[in-house]
Structure 1
Amino acid sequence: MIPPGETQIVFRSASQHALLEKLTKIAGTNAEVLITGPSGVGKELYAAYTHNHSQRRTRPFLAINCSNLSSHLLENEVFGHARGAYTGANASMGGIVEAAEGGSLFLDEVDTLPITSQAKLLRFIQTREYRRLGETTLRRADIRLIAASNADLDQYVRDGLFRKDLYYRLRVVPVEVAPLSERPEDIEPLLEHFTVRYAEEYQLPRVRFSEAAMRRILAHGWPGNVRELENCVRYLTCLQIERPVEPDDLALNGSDMRCTRAASIVEDVDVETEDEPARPVRNGRAINHHGGEGEKATRKSLQEAKQKLIDSFERDYIKRALVDARGNISEAARASGKHRRAFFELMRKHDLNAGNYKADA
């Protein structure tokens, strides 16, 4: 676990140790960093680590997902706009670049930027100068740029999908984060970290694993990487299994990826609407363009959100257990680590009928 600030990178492998040593060395410079690696390895965490080990650590670290940015949105969200720049622009507003002044700006999924947006970004990187949309005043920014991609950018350049000049501007310091399958030594410390974290966060008992379950976990390829492992622990924590988790509880094989599917259920608890513009992130929380902490006025209380999360997991798990047992309540209860009566009460709670899951139904 690596300080400072809120940045925590949990590892045991020599490859991760070497990677963090590299990031620590380059953190003190203002050089652009390009972080690559498959989805789910936590590229933003490594960007935040770089920021938190730099002289800019007392200034903002903001992140934006480039897949949300059309050419127009790049100018509006990143550079800001003047009053009257377009219909509905009733007041001038600074962009993410101004909010990140003196700090670091993390551009995630930079490979998704349209070619026209790539040209605008290139000009900004070269000069650190920009204009708000609808404004003639030239402004200058003091920020460090860190970009990330899970795509093969070399191939994108060859295919004409990504500008070669922008590619080399961004990859002054190339950093590659290996998938979890290539560093299995990190699985156990990550598991330890997540079981403690979510037991505390959800105020529920900490998940325990049988030896057989641990062997299954260590043998699993984790195609979703650290995110998949984290969601698996979140899922199992919410199930409140009273005994040590067994391999069948993990359901990691085939299309029935319960732990992987857990992500969509978790994210349903509190999500932004599709109409909302892309927002930068500071230490995992949305902020407005004036740099303040943004909280939705309609946010549910912690208890309400937690209960919705638990109920969603619980209902999904009971349904899957009944499907697997073909409607046999006793078999489904045994597989779930519950007494038959307790399992039946859960069925009643979620209005589930075993007859709907029998083989001939």
Structure 2
Amino acid sequence: MRAIKGRGAASSQQSRRFNLPQNEADGDWMDLREQIDGTAPSQRTTVVELHPKTILSFNRSPDIPFDRSVNAYQGCEHGCIYCFARPTHAYHDLSPGLDFETKLFAKPSAARLLRETLAKPGYVPAPIAMGTNTDPYQPIEARYRITRDVLELCLETRHPVTITTKSDRLLRDLDLLAELAKLKLVAVGVSVTSLDSALSRLLEPRAASPSKRLDALGVLVKAGVPCHVSVAPVIPSITDSDLERILAEAAARGVPAATWIIVRLPHEVAPLFREWLEVHFPERAEKVMAIIRSLRGGRDNDPRFGKRMSAQGVWGDLFRRRFRVAMQRHGIQRPQIDLDCSSFRRPSSDGQLSLL
């Protein structure tokens, strides 16, 4: 198994949850395939447009601070090997591995569908979360501008929205973010996993560099946009050594708040992550997985409500203590997201705002 340049996953591992057919390369010719067939072509990114009937998803999870979200894209070209959204590609009979990074889905009608939902007489506003599944500012946003369309609608209707991203591309929408901020309608979280650019290229091959993400936070601060740095995910013996330094760099840019999340490996993410470790860090693969299992009650992943987002055991206590001490040292607080839901102006389905 070898790394694929510009991609996070090293293979197209198929899902076994839905009894999909399994394909495995085998035979003596494997050792000579490059001599016979030449170097395999690079994986190209393709985008299929989806036209769903609704765009606003609701949840009742007690582990997350929002009850509704908009996911403009499925699959993510950033290619983060640890992404907990990878298993969603199995529902399309596609691989959570390379297919998740290369076979993307876009929803161009997202803003129109959201307008229709907001126009319903019984709709009650609450912050809409973007970036909870795949990144709303992944590279194809430059072409589709779906995230910008949704933000324009939120500004028009005075609807609160939160954003989570690993990209500095959100600065292209700084005009909207600044206007939303003036009305207490937006909060932004930027995820920084490591300060090591070389490591970042292995973990998150097509995401913005760590320095660009931190600088983007600095720009948001100066523009008056409520924001925080998310040290996420923390991967033991891979990225955890940067935890304190990330907070220091964020504080130096005036970022007032921070959060952290331990790595999650649901469903197909666990074997993909183990494969990634064997390719890039074989000498410490067993150590990393042993610590992760100790954090997850002896399993690669703990899916239980109340447990899936938290770190257990001695290692969990250590990470929490380190984070708390670093926050105190740099004067950083937990994010206090207090957005205005009282100014909502219901639109009509034809694009006009209601007078009521």
Taking structure 2 as the reference length, what is the TM-score of the superposition?
Answer: 0.25
| Greater Rg over alpha carbons, structure | 1
Please state which structure has a larger fraction of its residues in helix: 1
The TM-score with structure 1 as length reference comes to 0.25
